[in-house]
């Protein structure tokens, strides 16, 4: 199935052809500052994403100590995806950008030691990590690999 979406003003449009490889929540303090709460994200390789329009980028150091590159519309400020150096070439697309196309069902929750008390664990969660989960552990959790062969 093809998925598509855009920023709020429509200047940036995107699409990708496959189901996400991972649906997850990140409760780290960086995500809480950037997004105002925990991040709800879809993971996929960058080369599967087709973009139309210009993006601006801001780079910060994430909770893992590695850089996170936040890519957003320069006109309306909508975050489109972030790219962690830790899991290159993966990107994290904001799940809310695909309203009505994917029922967000996270299987992994990261940085649960920083999770807000008001946020319950998702019933679909199969693994939780006190930290970023490490690249090795997260790689084992990837799904929908059969679509990419």
pLDDT (tens digit, 9 = 90+) per residue, 94-107? Answer: 999 997 898 899 99
Domain membership of residue 139 (yes or no) is yes
CATH number at residue 33: 2.170.150.70
Domain that holds residue 16: 3-144
- 46 HSE (CA, 13 A, CB side): 12
% pLDDT > 70, the chain: 91
* Residue 46: closest CA among 23, 77, 69: 69
Domain membership of residue 88 (yes or no) is yes
Contact 108, 22 (CB under 8 A): yes
Domain membership of residue 149 (yes or no) is no
Domain membership of residue 61 (yes or no) is yes
Domain membership of residue 74 (yes or no) is yes
* Residue 86: closest CA among 38, 140, 139: 139
* Residue 69: closest CA among 51, 53, 56, 52: 56
Across the range 17-40, mean pLDDT stands at 90
pTM of the entire predicted model: 0.84
* Residue 73: closest CA among 2, 14, 32, 18: 14
Task: List, for residues 43-83, the tens digit of each pLDDT value.
Answer: 999 999 999 999 999 999 877 788 989 999 999 999 999 99
Indicate the number of domains in the chain: 1
Domain membership of residue 107 (yes or no) is yes
Domain membership of residue 94 (yes or no) is yes
Query: How many angstroms separate the CA atoms of 89 and 45, rounded?
Result: 6
């Amino acid at each position: 199935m093809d998925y598509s979406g855009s920023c709020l003003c429509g200047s940036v449009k995107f699409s990708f052809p496959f189901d996400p490889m991972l649906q997850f929540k990140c409760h780290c303090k960086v995500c809480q500052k950037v997004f105002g709460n925990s991040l709800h994200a879809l993971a996929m390789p960058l080369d599967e994403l087709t973009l139309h329009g210009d993006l601006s980028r801001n780079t910060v150091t994430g909770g893992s100590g590695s850089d996170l590159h936040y890519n957003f519309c320069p006109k309306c400020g909508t975050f489109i995806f972030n790219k962690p150096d830790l899991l290159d070439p993966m990107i994290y697309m904001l799940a809310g950008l695909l309203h009505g196309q994917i029922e967000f069902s996270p299987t992994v929750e990261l940085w649960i030691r920083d999770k807000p008390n008001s946020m319950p664990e998702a019933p679909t969660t199969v693994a939780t990590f006190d930290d970023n989960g490490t690249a090795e552990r997260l790689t084992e959790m990837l799904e929908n690999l059969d679509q990419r062969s």
